[in-house]
């Protein structure tokens, strides 16, 4: 498979140039780049050069914010169902370009083509969800204690919503945030990972015809390509009332502190150290499928990747042996090929982290049952999926390593013992239990059970449906995106009281008279 030929075809179809601008508004004319720093983007598949991207400077950032602020003033007065209609058209545009964008995701990020296509489907799904939401931005009505008074609450848009995304889901997480934000009446400013800016630019090229056709104000959708300096500007900017940031816990703490210092809002989606509990009552056929995809999908670079298996001693050896047999059959290689199960890590820095983690595992007493090596014969960014047996205290298990490393831990006795192990880490994103025992499953889901934002029974940790709110607790940041009532994050709540009497009674029966 010739990567260069595929690149040229996709770049032509998605209108991506050899050198791309730092700022985009979803229209033909973008901000010119004079004196910008330039970065080169290469494919992790084989380090093929893809394109050069200009990084935005302070002037361009300020221009972007000004455009977003101006666009908000006009966009917020458009009725929500009208905004939803535009999002419906955006969803259709992504349907038309699903294969091209899915291929680009695989090319630039390294996940398998099927996962790339699945990520585009998430954009389509959130657009569908948001179209319906545009007619359901409900408030509540309440009975007043005062006669001939009416109380209700309503929601108003915030203003400019800043969206900072990570490389592992280069487009879907933007859509989770942006589509909800714009239907709620906000404008949006997106800073993608500088590791995957081409996917972001492609998204803006895809939505461009819809924005032009509908005369969407320039700045409702804005894209700025930059490094951490742009992210820092966004976090500290009072003109951005809400920052939605996805990334590491370390990054999230910095963003959260900066936003909190100016009393802004931060929606944080950070690290995960996700566990599956396998009890003695588990269906092993379901377990195997969930574990393998959860551990190796996206080369272990999902925030919901399965990193720990907490296995009852009665089924421990059976599950371990089956996993070892399956890991022997995992096809590692070019993610654009249909037979590939696992592609490369994103870059050489990630490979170094993988190698350092393997070294730490060996140093602190973990036993590597499978893998633990780089695969330089395939290319610079390929590693073996790894199974590690843990017996005792191995501190590295408590850390999130963005790589396909799976830890096996044994428990005995009641399921509460497994839940205690699961909850012992600082992260709290996704969790799962496999059991056919209703008591075990209900304990896992109860207030005594999983402390994660996502808790599943008989499905794995990886993957989430659009309809449910996505996010986690503890060091995962506490944010919620996507479905359910996550839309409320992008709006400000207002309580209203209307007096239609001829009197002015005070609340709580107070009497305040001046003679």
- Beta-strand ranges (E) seen in 133-280 are 141-143, 149-157, 160-164, 187-191, 221-224, 242-246, 265-269, 274-278
Phi, psi torsion values for 273, nearest 5 degrees = -135, 70
According to DSSP, the residues that pair with 157 across neighbouring strands are 491
Question: 303 catalytic, yes or no?
Answer: yes
**How many Cβ atoms are within 10 Å of 495's Cβ, its own excluded?**
11
Most distant CA atoms of the chain, gap in Å: 93
Q: DSSP letter at 420?
A: H
Q: Is the dihedral of CA 212, 216, 217, 220 positive or negative?
A: negative
Catalytic one of 108, 115, 122, 269: 269
Geometric angle at alpha carbon 27, from 5 and 23, rounded to 5°: 80
Of all residues in the chain, what percent are helix, strand and coil, respectively (each to 5)?
A: 40, 20, 40
Catalytic one of 68, 303, 440, 452: 303
> Does residue 323 contact residue 277 with C-beta atoms inside 8 Å?
no
Quickly list H helices, 184-332: 197-213, 228-236, 249-261, 284-296, 316-327
Q: Single out the residue of 83, 114, 87 nearest to residue 98, CA to CA.
A: 114
> Catalytic residues, which ones?
269, 303
């Amino acid at each position: 498979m010739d990567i260069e030929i595929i690149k040229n075809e996709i770049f032509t179809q998605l209108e991506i140039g050899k050198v791309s601008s730092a700022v985009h508004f979803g229209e033909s004319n973008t901000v010119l780049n004079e004196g910008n720093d330039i970065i080169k983007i290469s494919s992790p598949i084989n380090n093929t050069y893809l394109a050069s991207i200009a990084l935005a400077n302070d002037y361009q950032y300020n221009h972007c914010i000004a455009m977003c602020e101006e666009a908000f003033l006009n966009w917020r007065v458009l009725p929500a169902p009208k905004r939803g209609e535009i999002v419906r058209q955006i969803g259709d545009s992504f349907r038309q370009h699903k294969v091209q964008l899915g291929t680009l995701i695989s090319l630039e990020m390294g996940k398998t083509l099927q996962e790339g296509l699945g990520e585009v489907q998430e954009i389509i799904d959130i657009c569908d969800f948001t179209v319906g939401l545009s007619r359901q931005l409900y408030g509540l009505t309440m009975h007043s204690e005062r006669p001939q008074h009416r109380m209700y609450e309503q929601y108003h848009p915030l203003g400019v919503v800043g969206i900072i995304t990570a490389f592992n889901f280069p487009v879907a997480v933007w859509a989770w945030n942006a589509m909800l934000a714009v239907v709620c009446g906000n404008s949006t400013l997106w800073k993608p990972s500088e590791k995957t800016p081409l996917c972001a630019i492609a998204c803006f090229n895809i939505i461009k015809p819809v924005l032009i056709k509908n005369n969407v104000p320039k700045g409702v959708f804005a894209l700025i390509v930059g490094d951490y300096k742009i992210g820092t500007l966004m976090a500290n900017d009072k003109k951005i009332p809400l920052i939605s940031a996805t990334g590491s816990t370390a990054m999230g703490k910095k963003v959260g502190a900066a936003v909190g210092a100016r009393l802004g809002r931060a929606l944080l989606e950070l690290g995960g150290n996700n566990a599956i509990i396998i009890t003695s009552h588990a269906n092993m056929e379901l377990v195997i499928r969930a574990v393998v995809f959860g551990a190796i999908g996206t080369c272990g670079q999902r925030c919901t990747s399965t990193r720990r298996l907490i296995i009852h001693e009665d089924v421990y050896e059976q599950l371990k042996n089956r996993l070892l047999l399956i890991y022997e059959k995992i096809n590692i290689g070019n993610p654009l090929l249909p037979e590939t199960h696992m592609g490369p890590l994103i870059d050489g820095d990630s490979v170094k982290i993988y190698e350092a983690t393997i070294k730490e595992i060996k140093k602190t007493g973990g036993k590597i049952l499978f893998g633990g090596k780089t695969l330089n014969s395939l290319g610079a960014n390929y590693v073996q999926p790894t199974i590690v047996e843990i017996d005792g205290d191995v501190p590295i298990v408590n850390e999130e390593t963005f790589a396909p490393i799976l830890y096996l831990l044994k428990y005995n006795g009641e399921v509460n013992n497994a839940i205690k192990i699961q909850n012992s880490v600082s992260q709290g994103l996704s969790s799962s239990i496999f059991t056919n025992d209703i008591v075990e499953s209900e304990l896992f889901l109860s207030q005594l059970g999983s402390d994660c934002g996502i808790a599943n029974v008989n499905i794995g940790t990886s993957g989430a449906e659009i309809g449910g709110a996505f996010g986690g607790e503890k060091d995962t940041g506490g944010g919620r995106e996507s479905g359910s009532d996550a839309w409320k994050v992008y709006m400000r709540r207002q309580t209203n009281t209307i007096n239609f009497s001829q009197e002015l009674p005070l609340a709580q029966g107070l009497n305040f008279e001046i003679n």
